Amino acid sequence: MFKTISDPADCEVRSVIWFLNAKNVKPAEIHRQLVQISGENVMTDGMVRKWVRQFNDGRTNVHDEAQSGRPSVVNDGLVAKVNEKIRENRRFTIRILCDEFPQISKTVLHEIVSNRLNYRKLCSRWVPKMLTDVHETK
């Protein structure tokens, strides 16, 4: 019996497809062998056929190609402006910040406030997550 491999990396699965395709194994047989070793959720039969087609067309790289994606609107200047607005009025809400920065969505503003600036809500006042000695004595 075969030794099973749980949760293989995508590039490992593609490497197996590339190897078996080079040995002229049919895509259906490649899929059957992958399922036999790695389980039902490894890759669909259609995806195996797609990768076999790409390897037959001359592709040799088994890794993902860089994706363009959506460019991020968050930059250091924007984070500094949001921080400045917060320091002007600590009793703000994300909705108030949305009025100040209408070009930015609420989720992006929340991500800036909570993840980039590390503010947490404390009794209707936003405070830095890590308090300094001066803050603790006050």
pLDDT in tens, 10-54: 889 999 999 999 999 999 999 999 998 888 888 899 999 999 999
Give me the torsion for CA of 25, 28, 30, 34, rounded to 10°: -170
pTM of the model: 0.50
On whether residue 100 sits in a domain, the answer given is yes
Distance CA 21, CA 109 (A): 48
On whether residue 122 sits in a domain, the answer given is no
Output the domain CATH number for residue 37: 1.10.10
Residue 105, C-beta contacts closer than 8 angstroms, at least 6 positions apart: 98
Q: Tens digits of per-residue pLDDT, 70-105?
A: 777 788 899 999 999 988 887 788 888 889 888 888
- On whether both 51 and 80 belong to a single domain, the answer is no
**With 90 as the cut, is the pLDDT of residue 138 above it?**
no
**With 80 as the cut, is the pLDDT of residue 126 above it?**
no
Residue 51, C-beta contacts closer than 8 angstroms, at least 6 positions apart: 14, 17, 18, 21
- pLDDT confidence tier of residue 124, bands split at 50, 70 and 90: low
Q: What is the pLDDT of residue 69?
A: 72
- On whether both 52 and 87 belong to a single domain, the answer is no
Domains in the chain: how many in total?
2
On whether residue 20 sits in a domain, the answer given is yes
- On whether both 21 and 49 belong to a single domain, the answer is yes
Distance CA 36, CA 124 (A): 56
Q: What is the pLDDT of residue 133?
A: 78
- The domain containing residue 110 runs over which residues? 76-116
